[in-house]
Amino acid sequence: MDRQSEILKAAEHAFLKFGLEKITLDDIAQECGINKTALYYYFRSKEEILAKMILLKMNEFEEQLQNAVKKAETVREKLRTYMSLKISMMKENLPFFKLFENEGLPVKAKKFLEEHRKHLMETDFSLVKGIIEQGIQNKKVSYELNDSLVLMILGVTYGSFIGRFLEEANWDIDEMIDTSIEVIFNGIG
């Protein structure tokens, strides 16, 4: 891991500890074990650190999801892997997600987050659509692909996470995923 990545990992702890509004570059430098001048060598502001931290986290998520899905063999396994891993990754990063909910963000930061949330959704959409397209090509899925099916899978994935971990519902995530996949492949009738 290069020095900039190490700083970003340490900065995440500092952001969680102090919050987005209260954190200073001194706090980040102290968490990283360097002085503020050395921090300026890598980053110009706490906003730049936050932006690069978000991008690093998103890239890690995307790479981890794509690699795990590639290893799964069947369409069902690929969908289950995607859904389960995505929910697990969001759960592991729940304090990070809540950081953005609990504080009043400046307009610039909100715009940045919205742009990257949109990119993340587009990446998830493409990944799930690719799984289904591969299933159709391999004659393992006999359904005409449309965006509604992909959105349904994403809806179950994100909805399961929100209900179970943000709203603290007592849901069995594995059961929800399995039921969803059965409905996708067998229908509800």
| Whole-number pLDDT of residue 126 | 95
Question: Given pLDDT bands bounded at 50, 70 and 90, which one contains residue 139?
Answer: confident
Mean pLDDT in residue range 142-146: 71
pLDDT score of 168: 78
Q: Where in the chain is the domain with CATH 1.10.357.10?
A: 50-186
- Identify the residue with better confidence: 102 or 58: 58
Q: What angle do CA 142, 68, 129 make, to 5 degrees?
A: 35
Across the range 28-51, mean pLDDT stands at: 90
Q: What is the pLDDT of residue 105?
A: 64
Assess if CATH 1.10.10.60 describes domain 50-186: no
pLDDT bin (cut points 50, 70, 90) of residue 23 is: confident
Tens digits of per-residue pLDDT, 174-187? 998 999 888 888 87
pLDDT of residue 166: 72
Please state whether 99 falls in left (phi above 0), alpha (psi between -120 and 50) or beta: alpha
- Within its chain, how far is the Cα of 86 from the centroid? 7
Architecture of domain 1-44: Orthogonal Bundle (1.10)
Q: Tokens standing for 31?
A: 């968490």
Domain with CATH 1.10.10.60 in the chain: 1-44
Q: What is the pTM of this model?
A: 0.83
Arithmetic mean of pLDDT, 117-128? 90
What is the rounded distance in angstroms from the CA atom of residue 24 to the CA atom of residue 29? 9
